[in-house]
Amino acid sequence: MGLIILDRDGVINQDSDNFIRSVEEFIPLPGSLEAIARLNQAGYIVTVATNQSGIGRGLFDLNTLNAMHDKLRKLLAAIGGQVEMIAFCPHNPDAGCDCRKPKPGMYLEIARRVGVSLQDVPVIGDSLRDLQAAQAVAARPILVRTGKGERSLAKSANELQGIPVYADLAAAVDALLSGDK
């Protein structure tokens, strides 16, 4: 079984510069849930690592975050999919924690809990910081254009050279499952 790590906002669900603050604002991107179910069917352990500084900023609380993740799990279960683990960083960007991407703390926690090496594990994100955290642990970074992906490409083209880029999670999963890197 292979491990895969996905960012949440902008990869699985719609993103907002004003944060996803409620269960109602948690809206899956077209094809993302089906892509996760296909990963499960192919034997992947699907995990999520997400910066959620809205908690530290007082924009929503842990109960609301848990309700969003419950919604995700229920929607996935209805189509035969699941996520094994959701790691999140609730801290503000200036907190200096080790879990907030681009630091690799959440990825290391996932590896510890799942019991696998992160060497060449696919990490799919929509921002440079997702991919920097992947590179820090020798995982395989993959960028999607959804969410902040287009903005990341425009702002960080040099840093993203050599990293595969796909239209969305479904396209990235298609490539993974067909053996493309």
Enumerate residues 6+ apart whose C-beta is below 8 A from 8: 48, 49, 50, 86
Q: What are phi and psi of 116, to 5 degrees?
A: -135, 160
The secondary structure element, H or E, covering residue 49 is strand 45-51
| Distinct helix (H) and strand (E) counts, the chain | 7, 6
Is 180 among the residues known to form the active site? Answer: no
The encoded tokens of residue 23 equal 């269960």
Return per-residue pLDDT of the chain as tens, 181 residues: 699 999 999 999 999 999 999 999 999 999 999 999 999 999 999 999 999 999 999 999 999 999 999 999 999 999 999 999 999 999 999 999 999 999 999 999 999 999 999 999 999 999 999 999 999 999 999 999 999 999 999 999 999 999 999 999 999 999 999 986 5
Q: Which of 9, 15, 126, 168 is catalytic?
A: 9
The model's pTM is 0.96
Residue 148 is predicted with a pLDDT of 97
Q: Report domain extents, the chain.
A: 3-177
Query: Quick one: pLDDT at residue 180?
Result: 67
- Could you tell me which of 112, 110, 114, 113 has the C-alpha nearest to residue 123? 110
Q: What is the pLDDT of residue 179?
A: 84
Q: Which of 7, 126, 130, 168 is catalytic?
A: 7
Residue type, 177: L
Residue 117 DSSP code: -
pLDDT at residue 145 in the model: 98
For residue 181, the model assigns a pLDDT of 55
7 catalytically annotated = yes
- Are 146 and 126 contacting, i.e. CB atoms less than 8 angstroms apart? yes
Superfamily grouping for domain 3-177? HAD superfamily/HAD-like (3.40.50.1000)
- 29 DSSP 8-state letter: P
